[in-house]
Amino acid sequence: MSDVLAAPGGVLYGTRFERNAATRESAWFKWVAITVALAFFALFLLLPLVTVFVEAFRKGIDTYLTALSEPEAWSAIRLTLLTAAIAVPANLIFGVAAAWCITKFEFPGKQLLITFIDLPFSVSPVIAGLIYVLLFGAQGWLGPWLAEHDIKIIFAVPGIVLATIFVTFPFIARELIPVMQAQGREEEEAAIVLGASGWQTFWHVTLPNIKWGLLYGVILCNARAMGEFGAVSVVSGHIRGQTNTMPLHVEILYNEYNFAAAFAVASLLALLALVTLAIKSWVERKAALRHIG
Measured from the CB atom, the residue of 106 and 150 that comes closer to another protein is 150
First-to-last alpha carbon distance for the chain, in angstroms, is: 20
* Residue 230 engages another protein in binding (rule: CB under 8 A): no
Letter for the amino acid at 188?
A: E
Q: For residues 229 and 247, is the Cβ–Cβ distance under 8 A?
A: yes
| Residue 142 in the binding site for another protein (CB under 8 A) | no
d(CA 138, CA 153): 10
Q: What is the phi/psi pair of residue 151, to 5°?
A: -105, 125
Piece of the chain touching another protein by CB under 8 A; list 16-24, 107-115, 231-239, 273-281:
231-239
* Sign, CA torsion 133/134/140/146: negative
CA–CA gap between residue 226 and residue 168 (Å, rounded): 10
The closest alpha carbon to 165, from 125, 207, 111, 138, belongs to: 125
- Closest distance of CB 66 from another protein, Å: 16
Q: Does 133 bind another protein (CB under 8 A)?
A: yes
- Give me the least distance between CB of 131 and another protein, in Å please: 13
- The 152-171 contact track toward another protein, x by CB under 8 A, reads xxxxx-x--xx--x------
Could you say whether residue 150 binds another protein (CB under 8 A)?
yes
Q: Which of 222, 227, 218 is nearest to 245 (CA)?
A: 227
**Beta carbons of 117 and 235 less than 8 angstroms apart:** no
Q: Give 238 or 286: the residue with its C-beta nearer to another protein.
A: 238
Residue 71 sits in the site that holds another protein (CB under 8 A): no
Based on the shown chain and the rule CB under 8 A, indicate whether residue 151 belongs to the binding site for another protein: yes
Query: Which of 39-47, 57-65, 145-153, 202-210 is the region at the interface with another protein (rule: CB under 8 A)?
Result: 145-153
Q: Which residues bind another protein (CB under 8 A)?
A: 90, 133, 136-140, 143, 147, 149-156, 158, 161-162, 165, 237-242, 252, 254-257
